[in-house]
Amino acid sequence: MFIWEGVFKNFINAKKQSRGKGFLGKKWQNSQLLLFKECIKKLNKIKLSKKYTFRYYDFLIIIKKKFRKKKVNILDFGGGFGIGFFYLTQNGIKISNYTIIENKKSVKSFREKFNQINYFSRINYRTKYDIVNCCSVFQYLDNWKVYLKNISKINANYLFFSDLPSGNIKTFASLQNYYGDKIPYWFINFTEFNNIINKEGYVLVKKSKMATKFPPMINFKESQRIYHSLNLLYKKKEFKISND
């Protein structure tokens, strides 16, 4: 079985062929709750396994470089239960506030178990954040362009997108075989993504390949394949910081 199957113009067409509840399903929710409990136990003890934290490695480097000893106000968009919080905390990052935006079902479950993270299902645009982190999330959003504009309206100093399946391809939707389900999934043209966020007042300051190997797309045409996902750091155009 291939990880991704099918080429669709949009999520509407992909959803017609999808199967299961994906991230709202019991299988994924239960797996996250088990990992969540493990993270809470290890918070001030054993460091978490790299297989859980590898997507946040570059985020840690950015926080250390851009903010140094300053306490950081972070919004983690689509951050699950907060693996990013646990990883940053275990690596000595000082956090003044860590807010996660997730679906209502997840927010309800996570709030009951941990109070050091603020869990919400909607963005509060009145709150000022130093940086917004979007880790492996935009490929799962039905209307990613609208969400990208909304993220920009938060007016944070930095926006960081990690594990974004993007490249010199025409944007298309597919289906990802994940947790026994078939989940709609975007492959995004980089220029299209970059132009939208530039118009919203942000400039690209760092572009790099995700460290881990991207699963092969041998069942797609060469013109539709990407060979690695991207990590993208954007800075608000008028924002200045001495150690940039």
Tell me the pLDDT of the chain averaged across its residues: 91
The H or E element spanning position 77 is strand 72-77
- 10 or 30, which is more confident: 10
26-42: pLDDT as tens digits: 777 788 888 888 888 87
Find the mean pLDDT for residues 6-19.
94
Give the other-Cβ count within 10 Å of 119's Cβ.
Answer: 23
Task: Please report the pLDDT score of residue 241 as a whole number.
Answer: 55
Phi-psi group of 136: left, alpha or beta (phi > 0 → left; psi -120 to 50 → alpha; rest → beta): left
CB neighbours of 70 closer than 8 A, spacing ≥ 6?
94, 130
Range of the domain at 179: 4-236
Q: Is 243 part of any domain?
A: no
Q: Is 244 part of any domain?
A: no
**Strand 72-77, strand 131-135: pairing:** parallel
Task: Please report the pLDDT score of residue 234 as a whole number.
Answer: 98
Task: Please report the pLDDT score of residue 240 as a whole number.
Answer: 64
CB neighbours of 125 closer than 8 A, spacing ≥ 6?
153, 154, 155
Q: Is 166 part of any domain?
A: yes
The CATH number for 29's domain is 3.40.50.150
70-104: pLDDT as tens digits: 899 999 999 999 999 999 998 999 999 999 999 99
179-230: pLDDT as tens digits: 789 999 999 999 999 999 999 999 999 999 998 888 999 999 999 999 999 9
- 52 or 162, which is more confident: 162
Distance CA 119, CA 106 (A): 9
Percent of the chain predicted with pLDDT > 90: 71
Q: How many domains does the chain have?
A: 1
Identify which of 244, 95, 94, 86 has the alpha carbon closest to the alpha carbon of residue 157. Answer: 244
Q: Is 100 part of any domain?
A: yes
**Strand 166-167, strand 181-189: pairing:** parallel
Task: Please report the pLDDT score of residue 26 as a whole number.
Answer: 78
Q: Is 200 part of any domain?
A: yes
Identify which of 156, 141, 163 has the alpha carbon closest to the alpha carbon of residue 235. Answer: 156
Q: Is 242 part of any domain?
A: no
CB 29 within 8 A of CB 105: yes
Residue type, 227: Y
Q: Can you tell me whether residue 88 is helix, strand or coil?
A: helix
φ/ψ of residue 26, rounded to 5: -65, -35
Q: Is the pLDDT of residue 243 over 60?
A: no
Q: Is 20 part of any domain?
A: yes
